[in-house]
């Protein structure tokens, strides 16, 4: 993936209540709480597994993706 930007989870601070479920679910420790909100502390560690998105009760985390059809 050299030369391409790494996609990261989008965290909506307005929706995040700071419950910490995403932090507890993150298998790589990429997420943490900063000032009462979820934050991506280590983008390189994020494995893009979507556990945080699935467990967020407020829907504050979205993992954008792009579908590419190549020949």
Taking the C-alpha atoms of residue 59 and residue 38, their distance in angstroms, rounded to an integer, is: 12
**Under 8 Å CB-to-CB from 58, ≥6 apart: which residues?**
15, 16, 17, 19
pLDDT tens digits along 4-18: 556 789 999 999 999
Residue with tokens 């420790």: 29
Whether 5 is covered by a domain: the verdict is no
The domain in which residue 35 lies consists of: 10-62
The CATH number that applies at residue 56 is 3.30.70.20
Helix (H), strand (E) at residue 53: helix 51-55
Residue at 2 is within a domain: no
Residue 70 lies in a domain: no
The tally of domains found in the chain comes to: 1
pLDDT tens, position by position, 16-48: 999 999 999 999 999 999 999 999 999 999 999
Residue at 35 is within a domain = yes
Other CB atoms within 10 A of residue 52 CB: 26
């Amino acid at each position: 993936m050299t030369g391409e930007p790494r996609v990261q989870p989008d965290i909506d601070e307005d929706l995040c209540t700071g419950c910490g479920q995403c932090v507890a679910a993150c298998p790589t420790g990429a997420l943490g709480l900063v000032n009462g909100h979820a934050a991506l502390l280590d983008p390189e560690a994020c494995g893009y597994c979507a556990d945080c998105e699935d467990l967020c009760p407020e829907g504050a985390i979205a993992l954008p993706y792009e579908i590419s059809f190549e020949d």
